[in-house]
Each structure stands twice: as C-alpha cells, then as structure tokens.
C-alpha cells in the first residue's frame, strides 16, 4: 500500500473531498465516503475507487459512480469475516457455503447474483470476489 503520489497519478478530480491518503496506523480506519462504506478488514487500504491497480478489473477504471448499490452490497458481503475468507472463491459459491453452514447470509445478495447470472454476461466480473486478480 504506497502512501504517496496518488494525487499526481490521477489527473481527474473526484466528486468527494479529495484523495484520502492511506494511514499507516493500525487503528481501524473508518473511511467515511458519502456512501458509508465501512469495510471490515481493509485496514490502511486506500479507498477502493482510487487505486491504480483496480484499472485491471473489467478493463475500466472502477469509479464510484459506476458501481452502484448492488456492487456495494456485494462488496460488503465479501468483506464480512463472519462468512470466512473471500479470496479465491466465487461470490455465489461463498454464499451457498455460508447458507449450508447455517450462517444466514443476507438473501438479497443471492438475488443480485442470481439476477446477474440470468442477465447480461458482460458483468461477469461481479461473480468474482473483490480482490480477484489483485492478490
């Protein structure tokens, strides 16, 4: 997690108040964006929409405007440690596993994923977890 040069990297301006520099302290940093994204385990990480590495995901810069409420809910599901680690595991399979273990994962997440399966296949990146291809 590099702590410098984010400002110089991007030429565009974001809607929210400036770039949040990742803090090196290990206290649980609640990144308060306008959409209340309270991540669980991503301590010290730069806010998700700003990292250059996310350019690889789907081939487009993952801007906050583009990923809407659905993706937000899916990311919340990914980050929730109660259902186990999310890396290397598809979201739908992880949901099924959590349901089989009796953890009562939120049903609307499954609806979103199943809805996507029947919809366009262009959004197949949503089936992979947040860190797919990055870790």
Partner 1 sequence: MADSEMGEATLERKLAVYRNLDERFVIREEKYKGQQFSHIYFMRLHHMRSQLQSLIPNWKPHLPVNTVLGLEEGKECIIVGTLYKHMKLKPSILDEYSKERSAIPLVKPHNFMSTDDHLILEDESGRVKLAGPMLAPSAFVTGIVIAVHGKETSEGDFFVEDFLEAGLAPQVDRPLDSREDKFVAFVSGLSVGTNAFNPLQFQLLVDHVTGHLGDENEQRISSKIVRLVIAGNSMHISHGFFSGQTVAPKDHAKLTEPIRELDIFLTQLVAALPVDIMPGCNDPANYSLPQQPLHRCLFAGASAYNTFVSCTNPHHFELDNVQFVGTSGQNIDDLYKYSDAKDKIEFMERTLRWRHLAPTAPNTLGCYPYVDKDPFLIESCPHVYFVGNQEKYETRLLQGPDKQLVRLISIPRFCETGVAVMVHKQTPLSLSLKFLPPVSLFLLFYLCSLTLGTWNAMRSVSPQICKCDCGYPMGTALGSSMHTRLCSYFTGDILPLPISAFFFYLGRLFSPDCCNF
Interface residue list for partner 1 (CB under 8 A): 81-82, 84-85, 87-90, 93, 97, 100-101
Q: Cα-Cα-Cα-Cα dihedral of 70, 26, 50, 124, to 10°? A: -40
By beta-carbon proximity to partner 1, the closer residue of 16 and 76 is: 76
Q: Which helix (H) or strand (E) holds 114?
A: helix 107-118
By beta-carbon proximity to partner 1, the closer residue of 44 and 70 is: 44
Min CB(91)–partner 1 separation in Å: 13
Min CB(75)–partner 1 separation in Å: 18
Q: What is the DSSP letter of 66?
A: G
3-state class percentages of the chain: helix first, strand second, coil last, to nearest 5: 45, 0, 55
Min CB(135)–partner 1 separation in Å: 9
Min CB(76)–partner 1 separation in Å: 16
Q: How far is CA 59 from CA 62, 98, 109, in A?
A: 9, 30, 24
By beta-carbon proximity to partner 1, the closer residue of 37 and 83 is: 83
Instruction: Tell me the two tokens of residue 59.
Output: 């081939």
By beta-carbon proximity to partner 1, the closer residue of 67 and 131 is: 131
């Amino acid at each position: 997690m590099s702590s410098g040069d984010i400002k110089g990297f991007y030429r565009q301006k974001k809607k929210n108040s400036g770039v949040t520099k990742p803090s090196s302290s290990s206290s649980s940093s609640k990144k308060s964006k306008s959409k209340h994204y309270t991540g669980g385990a991503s301590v010290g990480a730069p806010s998700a929409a700003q990292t250059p590495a996310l350019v690889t995901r789907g081939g487009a810069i993952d801007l906050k405007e583009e990923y809407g409420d659905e993706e937000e809910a899916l990311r919340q599901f990914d980050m929730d440690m109660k259902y186990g680690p999310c890396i290397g595991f598809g979201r739908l399979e992880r949901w099924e596993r959590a349901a089989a273990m009796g953890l009562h994962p939120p049903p609307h997440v499954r609806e979103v994923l199943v809805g996507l399966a029947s919809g366009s296949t262009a959004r197949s990146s949503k089936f992979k977890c947040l860190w797919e291809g990055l870790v």
